[in-house]
Chains A and B, each alone.
Chain A
Amino acid sequence: MADDKKMLAQGLRRRDPELLDQLIEQYQYRLFRYLLYITGNTERAEDFFQETWIRVLERGHQYDGKFKFEAWLFTIARNLVIDWQRQKKAVSLDAMTNPEEGAGFEIADEKAESPLQLFLQSESQERVQASLAQLPAPYREVLLLRFQEEMQLEEIAKIQATPISTVKSRLYRGLDALKGLLEGSAA
């Protein structure tokens, strides 16, 4: 496992095109899903998906293999979204990432239709999707990282650059909110 990460780090340092092609294929679903959750917009998620891999190519030498590649990848993707958001609005980073201080991080969707609706097929999925879309982005993000990506709390804290206590609190609140929304939509 450690050897795999080391080899991956070496390949990224060499900017090995075969390796990058393989990584793009391998992580396309997970990265796109993550970006879709945090941006809430399909087109933006696509743009950030491409930009993230360009950044991986340019900054590959910074991956030292100490942490899981996906955690590093998601951190890059997240930082790109935050940078973009910061340029777009003159708001503080805290306000963007802290749901308690408003939903600034959530990218306003210019289209009336929820972006996730374009992707989800079944009716029950639509219900879950509608509930998720109502959650602030940082809650959606932690729920995805914990329960879909099955990441450890430490890894999530690293990606979000926040203390573990904040991650836990977001998870509790997010889970509680999701439960409430699902129950409400089922009633």
Chain B
Amino acid sequence: MTMTNEIHARAEGLIAKERVEGISAAEQEWLGQHVRECARCSDAANATQEALRALRTLSVQVPRELAARTQFRVRLRAQEMQAREPRWRLIWMMCGASWVGGAATAPYVWRGLEWIGHRTGLPDFVWKMGFGVWWALPAIIAATILLMESNERGGARSLDDAA
């Protein structure tokens, strides 16, 4: 077989492809035969094999106690999260109850605010806005608590890091 540059390039491409994504049986057969006959591509195949072997034999030493330290930190964080859980459950239950109550009483509140608005001579948009605020109140409270909670957590984490 006449060895052209295209043939060598194909062989080198297949050598890498074989490792990266795999090659077909026919390609494997062609490559095997070519590598047996071509010293240059045989060297290239060996170099690839050597690079991968070297890579695979690389070992890393995990710092002593890293796992134990991490386990300790994770347990602490888990305890902290667990301590917050009942508080959260209560907040969500209150939010849920508030939404249900809000939905059930919405028509009455609407009529009540409308009556007050007309009695006091307020423009419509004012009492309608009041209704909007009343409706969004549970969400506003929940968001405020969430914000306070995350600030508290951020502070705790910074202290942790500083320690």
Taking beta carbons and an 8 Å cutoff, which residues of A are in contact with B? 15, 17, 20-21, 24-25, 28-29, 32-33, 36, 42, 46, 49-50, 53-54, 56-58, 116, 119-121, 124-125, 127-129, 132, 143, 146-148, 153, 168, 171-172, 175-176, 178-179, 182-183
Contacts and interface: CB of A to CB of B under 8 A. Distances in A.
A179 B75 contact: no
A129 B58 CA distance: 8
A143 B71 CA distance: 29
Nearest to B50: A182
Contacts of B16: 172, 175-176
Contacts of B77: 54, 57-58
Interface string B1-43: 0000000000000001001110000000000000000000000
A50 B69 contact: yes
A125 B69 contact: no
Interface residues of B, number: 31
A97 to B, nearest CB: 19
B60 A124 contact: no
Contact of B55 (A15, A32, A36, A178): A178
B51 interface: yes
Nearest to B52: A147
14 contacts: A25-B67, A32-B60, A32-B66, A36-B60, A54-B73, A54-B74, A54-B77, A58-B81, A124-B54, A129-B58, A148-B55, A175-B20, A182-B50, A182-B51
> Which has the most chain B C-beta neighbours within 10 Å: A36, A116, A179?
A179
The secondary-structure label for the interface of chain B is helix
Interface string B97-128: 00000000000000000000000000000000
Contacts of B69: 50
Contacts of A178: 51, 55
A24 B20 CA distance: 30
Given A125-B58, A147-B52, A24 B74 contact: yes
B56 A148 contact: yes
B70 interface: yes
A53 B68 CA distance: 12
A153 B16 CA distance: 14
B94 interface: no
A146 B20 contact: yes
A128 B62 contact: no
The 8 A-B residue pairs with the shortest CB-CB distance in the complex, in nearest-first order: A128-B54, A33-B60, A179-B51, A28-B67, A171-B20, A119-B61, A119-B60, A32-B62
